[in-house]
Structure 1
């Protein structure tokens, strides 16, 4: 039974409370919500001589949040609203709050102030007519004394996705309000991260989806955070970070360094009128980063021409995304297009995507210009009408992975062939290749999304409970469908009957293509496909995941299984080298 939304309130410091607007359902069809663990939207109240509200939630929680807040602090007593970032969704709550407290002063970054004024002018003109917004615009570091030893310091940390991002540090309580940084979309009762390691995969997933594409800017933000002796990271989503603060900060630095040190680099340049194109961009970026390729996401609306030129010149491939406004691409995209055509070598891989309402001329323009310019495409152009669905986001993620793999293949093809030798590494590779494993096909289904992959790195791991491990390459499309708690079927192939199945599932699939269109299968009790010609199958649930280099090692518990052939023998895979399957 689905739980209703609610607001959990707790004390996190002197005169400081958190209001956690919670839902156990997936809130949005955006890639960072892909683990479907629900989410919390964390807001904070600091009561000094003046009262400050930090980060009111979006419209999904507007009414229950304002009701919970008003029961503890009369809304007309709030003096300041501090915004880590501004978006139309959050402004719905702000507009209703202003009806009760028109005197409120907003504190946001300079870019956020412009966005706030624009959103209210366009969406809530009646509020503007009744009240002029009182805004303190923070261009650089700024301080606010609330009294009772609450001195707040504001730090601007812009990035292409959140160009208005503003962090807040309370010098008294040592609470750092980190907005999106260190967040995770997970819903539960814990206010602080007690048993913090259980959230590590959720935080890593959020990092890969939201943070990694903006590594250059995030590195600078982390440096600013580390200069303060913070006691708690008060995040926008998920449990607040207290017990794992030092470890998580170190992991962020490690993940950022790994991302920045990748040898291949993609420039993702986009603009987004209503947020839909940005959602597609995030999904494509996720696919690229999971394949081990660095990405530099650039919002053309906030980047200057020199930034775009440098990114185009230094990248190995580039991808453009655009909405269609009045039958045209936004001016910023047209300018960026001209920069790309003038500065990008034609041997660089290209890609195009975009969303539209009634027509898609901007997407057609980008595609035709790059084709006419002689560029090769890393995936088929993606055209999305209105809001993207979960299936579309999965297609975008797979397109990003295909793009990254195409770059890797080209790099490998250009690399000089190494002559065979008898070195230590060569001998080790040969020996490692002699480790054999059963040939299997992992199949899974989540909602309307299906996935499959050939797996030969499979091994029983435990007797009680009955469990085994399977290695899944990070760039596999199925990887994002196998979080902890997910279900899948391990189909064990039969010697002499495995060749056709293996060839079929090893072939390249187009992004979003149905893996089971021409395969005889039936549905298991856990809802995942069973291959009818398999030797045996095991219905499984993912219990743990361990990140190991370029693979995830997934530990699964066997819940049910059946031998489909009494006389068959398990097909095994023999390799000559440990450097490839």
Structure 2
């Protein structure tokens, strides 16, 4: 999405004495995988103006100036008593520093890990901090009935996470929970079903690797009578409240029920290694393997050891600080070398500024110990780009597929049943789906393709969840369907069937042109269709993508369409 509007702040009352300040960006904003759908985002902050005044979750530095300008139109900063923080990071600290200059009397309200992070982010600034641990007697009384309770909801990515409940308005301020990265004028989620894709994608990126912690958080908030959720990003959750709560429960149970799991260990000095870990986790979970994500900076050794004992494979990531790995990563490495069997699949990743000794250390120690790697060590200098994150996601998927393949080898193969043989008699045309978005391009061989509608002309494609191209086929994206010609299809089929390394160029030595929608056209195809994704539906281990056809052309009028015949319904 290109920036079609300038960033702004939308300010509206949402409940008694309560106002939302939605800082809006209409483009991607940040190179983190949860922003990859490029639908923009909102950073939601809230003003509770009773006899005492509290500000909940000021935004990051991308919005500092416009946010503080909007805030000062509604309240004199010197009258603000409290700033409540759902989490603290360096990005948000930039806004807090400027806010403190306007209102030095502020008391910050946060969790104990949040207080540690806040002092680290603002080391030379005098701070007044009230730490909330979530005990029943901890109530912040703003008067007029606004009594605030606090619920710590830590996760590996956000160990300082804190939800806030206002008993007067029955609003639960959920920070990272129940959000979506989508920008628009709609403050509440009327017609919430149109947000389902964005909310699911947000969950898959941010929450799925922390399913155990998500379940614990849901149990903690269940006793509260809540009118609506006020998340840090996207529309407020009122009309789809019950459905989204149940969805978080179901999605988390699905993650925990997977029979294969990966322990993902990391530390992150500036957030870059955590972003890489998140992209790897996304690739693993989309392939049907669970992730137990562990931030070694906030975890006890017993928690790390338990995860390593239960997992089928592990990956460990580290920044390089002063030429070394942080102490917590060295401790985790020691646990791996002393307790983990060498037949478990391993992975190494990390970020660095000027050198990458920590990554070299991890790779060398694990290699010397006899571990086999599920992907080549990932070294990222400074901040990862969208191309880097796509590479990390595909590396995670490869890691998961290697675990699944090893599991199949251990299990005796059963002959196809009559049902499976019958399903295999369903045939489909052989096609290559190609797409390019920004600097990221991908392709896949497809045979589960069917025309779906006459008006508008439309088709469906079944895409396996672990396919690299899956994350590029969401509503609003475009692709080209290249239909292969009988008798001339084997070369292209062989090329696109081969395994590609993460982020490897799929189009090397392939004769292509570029369609108006930016996707590659294969010149050896018999015909092609330019398509726009309108919707998709989750169906077991596949997504069924529905797309409308914008343009098309027959390249070989004499050719017949290549057809794929199968012997069983359990394989393509």
Shorter-chain-normalised TM-score: which range? over 0.9
Determine the structure 1 residue equivalent to 2:475.
484
Distance in 1 (CA, whole Å) between partners of 2:153 and 2:176 is 11
Determine the structure 2 residue equivalent to 1:507.
498
User: Aligned-pair distance for 1:417?
Assistant: 2.9
Q: Deviations over 1:125-181 (max 9, x none)?
A: 2xx2xxx31110112332111111111101111111100000001111110001100
1:350-369 map, 5 Å: 350-369=346-365
Q: Does residue 440 in structure 1 map to residue 441 in structure 2?
A: no
Q: Does residue 396 in structure 1 map to residue 392 in structure 2?
A: yes
Determine the structure 2 residue equivalent to 1:179.
175
Determine the structure 1 residue equivalent to 2:448.
457
Determine the structure 2 residue equivalent to 1:272.
268
Determine the structure 1 residue equivalent to 2:519.
528
Task: Say which SS state the counterpart of residue 44 (structure 2) adopts.
Answer: strand
Q: Deviations over 1:315-355 (max 9, x none)?
A: 00000101111111111101100000111111100000111
Stretches (4+) displaced over 3 A: none
Q: Deviations over 1:87-138 (max 9, x none)?
A: 11111111111111110111000110111112111xxx2xx2xxx3111011
1:144-155 map, 5 Å: 144-155=140-151
Q: Does residue 372 in structure 1 map to residue 368 in structure 2?
A: yes
Distance in 2 (CA, whole Å) between partners of 1:156 and 1:432 is 50
Once superposed, what is the RMSD of the aligned Cα atoms?
0.8
Distance in 1 (CA, whole Å) between partners of 2:423 and 2:413 is 21
Out of 482, 485, 489, the residue aligned to residue 498 of structure 1 is: 489
User: Aligned-pair distance for 1:33?
Assistant: 0.4
Determine the structure 1 residue equivalent to 2:56.
54
Determine the structure 1 residue equivalent to 2:120.
118
Task: Say which SS state the counterpart of residue 79 (structure 1) adopts.
Answer: strand
Q: Deviations over 1:382-401 (max 9, x none)?
A: 11111111100000000000
Distance in 2 (CA, whole Å) between partners of 1:254 and 1:499 is 42
Determine the structure 2 residue equivalent to 1:20.
22
Distance in 2 (CA, whole Å) between partners of 1:134 and 1:448 is 46
Distance in 1 (CA, whole Å) between partners of 2:522 and 2:14 is 52
Out of 507, 518, 523, the residue aligned to residue 516 of structure 1 is: 507
Determine the structure 2 residue equivalent to 1:84.
86
Determine the structure 1 residue equivalent to 2:378.
382
1:99-248 map, 5 Å: 99-121=101-123, 125=124, 128=125, 132-141=126-135, 142-248=138-244
Q: Does residue 325 in structure 1 map to residue 321 in structure 2?
A: yes
Distance in 2 (CA, whole Å) between partners of 1:75 and 1:146 is 16
Gaps of 5+ in 1: none
Distance in 1 (CA, whole Å) between partners of 2:413 and 2:192 is 47
Q: Does residue 416 in structure 1 map to residue 418 in structure 2?
A: no
Determine the structure 2 residue equivalent to 1:334.
330
User: Aligned-pair distance for 1:12?
Assistant: 1.2
1:273-312 map, 5 Å: 273-312=269-308
Distance in 1 (CA, whole Å) between partners of 2:263 and 2:387 is 24
Distance in 2 (CA, whole Å) between partners of 1:516 and 1:68 is 49
Distance in 1 (CA, whole Å) between partners of 2:169 and 2:489 is 63
Distance in 1 (CA, whole Å) between partners of 2:378 and 2:399 is 13
Distance in 2 (CA, whole Å) between partners of 1:19 and 1:82 is 14
Distance in 1 (CA, whole Å) between partners of 2:394 and 2:349 is 13
CA contact (8 A) 2:23 2:42 kept: yes
Distance in 2 (CA, whole Å) between partners of 1:187 and 1:108 is 27
User: Aligned-pair distance for 1:72?
Assistant: 1.3
Using the size of structure 1 for normalisation, the TM-score is: 0.97
Q: Does residue 36 in structure 1 map to residue 38 in structure 2?
A: yes
Out of 383, 403, 410, the residue aligned to residue 407 of structure 1 is: 403
User: Aligned-pair distance for 1:274?
Assistant: 1.1
Distance in 2 (CA, whole Å) between partners of 1:428 and 1:295 is 33
Task: Say which SS state the counterpart of residue 60 (structure 1) adopts.
Answer: helix
Distance in 1 (CA, whole Å) between partners of 2:167 and 2:485 is 65
Using the size of structure 2 for normalisation, the TM-score is: 0.98
Task: Say which SS state the counterpart of residue 347 (structure 2) adopts.
Answer: strand
Q: Does residue 314 in structure 1 map to residue 310 in structure 2?
A: yes
Distance in 1 (CA, whole Å) between partners of 2:58 and 2:382 is 27
Task: Say which SS state the counterpart of residue 323 (structure 2) adopts.
Answer: coil
Q: Does residue 544 in structure 1 map to residue 526 in structure 2?
A: no
Task: Say which SS state the counterpart of residue 442 (structure 1) adopts.
Answer: strand
Out of 92, 95, 98, the residue aligned to residue 96 of structure 1 is: 98
Distance in 1 (CA, whole Å) between partners of 2:408 and 2:107 is 57
Distance in 2 (CA, whole Å) between partners of 1:295 and 1:518 is 37
Task: Say which SS state the counterpart of residue 52 (structure 1) adopts.
Answer: strand
Task: Say which SS state the counterpart of residue 109 (structure 2) adopts.
Answer: strand
Distance in 2 (CA, whole Å) between partners of 1:118 and 1:375 is 36
Determine the structure 2 residue equivalent to 1:5.
7
Out of 70, 73, 82, the residue aligned to residue 72 of structure 2 is: 70
Q: Deviations over 1:211-238 (max 9, x none)?
A: 1111111100011122212111000000
Task: Say which SS state the counterpart of residue 538 (structure 1) adopts.
Answer: strand
Distance in 2 (CA, whole Å) between partners of 1:46 and 1:246 is 25
Determine the structure 2 residue equivalent to 1:568.
559
Distance in 2 (CA, whole Å) between partners of 1:325 and 1:300 is 15
CA contact (8 A) 2:133 2:151 kept: no
Gaps of 5+ in 2: none
